[in-house]
């Protein structure tokens, strides 16, 4: 099952904050976050593993709530370079599940 | 170190033709995964290979096939191309292919089927 991302799109002014959510109907063991700029390959941001941890990467952080089967990506004090489409990828449960299933993406536009 | 490389970068084919896309993983990585990304959607899993063995296959028809070579590079083949096969094809590499590892994407091959 494809994870559901929200919102579908968001427009921010430089310096504003944003939250992107990713939820799944299946039990999650890991959540991967990527950013993709137009015409480019997805770039890895962070991976969160089962355990409800929170990770940070400069002004971008994420949390993983395995009980709620969801993850949130937090972008603080947004910069123009944050613009792009953000994807979460989830791994299902069970042995042999080697594939990542990506959501449809959240398009983030940061304007001056 | 070089990242994941893919060739060609762009390709134009006509319906019914066959295409081969190539991927070289990051040095030391033994697993390669292939994804299809149509415009406006997230990448969709096609195959994963690890140590030359297919370890996972997504919901794609048998027209799609792949293989991995002893040097861990990989090829994706698509036969009898359809208009709907037009997409960005992404290759991702990781050390062991576990989804609890980081997967690094290549720049992709953009395929247009006319």
* C-alpha pair distances (Å), A49 with each of A5, A54, B96: 18, 9, 16
Q: Assign B100 a pLDDT band (cuts: 50, 70, 90).
A: confident
Three-state DSSP at B67 gives strand
Chain B neighbors of A105, CB-CB under 8 A: 40-42
B48 part of contact set with chain A, CB < 8 Å: yes
Contact B7, B107 (CB under 8 A): no
User: Inter-chain contact B56–A44, Cβ cutoff 8 Å?
Assistant: no
Chain A neighbors of B48, CB-CB under 8 A: 98-99
The per-residue pLDDT for A68 is 86
Mutate to test the interface with B, among A37, A64, A92, A99 (most CBs of B within 10 A): A99
The per-residue pLDDT for B106 is 95
A4 beta partners = A23
Digit-coded pLDDT (tens) for B45-88 = 999 999 999 988 999 999 999 999 999 999 999 999 999 999 99
Tell me which of A6-20, A86-100, B7-21 is least confident: A86-100
Q: Assign A29 a pLDDT band (cuts: 50, 70, 90).
A: confident
User: Inter-chain contact B100–A97, Cβ cutoff 8 Å?
Assistant: no
Q: Assign A32 a pLDDT band (cuts: 50, 70, 90).
A: very high
User: Inter-chain contact B90–A42, Cβ cutoff 8 Å?
Assistant: yes
Please name the residue that has the structure tokens 């941001």.
A45
């Amino acid at each position: 099952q494809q994870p559901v991302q929200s919102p579908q799109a968001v427009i921010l002014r430089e310096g504003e904050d944003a939250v992107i959510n990713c939820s799944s109907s299946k039990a999650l063991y890991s959540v991967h976050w990527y950013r993709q700029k137009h015409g480019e390959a997805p770039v890895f941001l962070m991976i969160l593993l089962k355990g409800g941890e929170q990770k940070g990467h400069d002004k971008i952080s994420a949390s993983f709530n395995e009980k709620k089967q969801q993850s949130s990506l937090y972008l603080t004090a947004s910069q123009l370079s944050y613009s792009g489409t953000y994807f979460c990828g989830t791994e299902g449960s069970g042995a042999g599940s080697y594939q990542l299933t990506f959501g449809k993406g959240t398009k983030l536009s940061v304007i001056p | 170190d070089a990242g994941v490389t893919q060739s060609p970068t762009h390709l134009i084919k006509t319906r019914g033709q066959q295409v081969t896309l190539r991927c070289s993983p990051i040095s030391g990585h033994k697993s390669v995964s292939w994804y299809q990304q149509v415009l406006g959607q997230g990448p969709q899993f096609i195959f994963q290979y690890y140590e030359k063995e297919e370890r996972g296959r997504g919901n794609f028809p048998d027209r799609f096939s792949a293989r991995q070579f002893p040097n861990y590079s990989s090829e994706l083949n698509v036969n009898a191309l359809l208009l709907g096969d037009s997409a960005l094809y992404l290759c991702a590499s990781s050390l062991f292919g576990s989804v609890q590892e980081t997967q690094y994407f290549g720049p992709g091959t953009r395929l247009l089927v006319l």
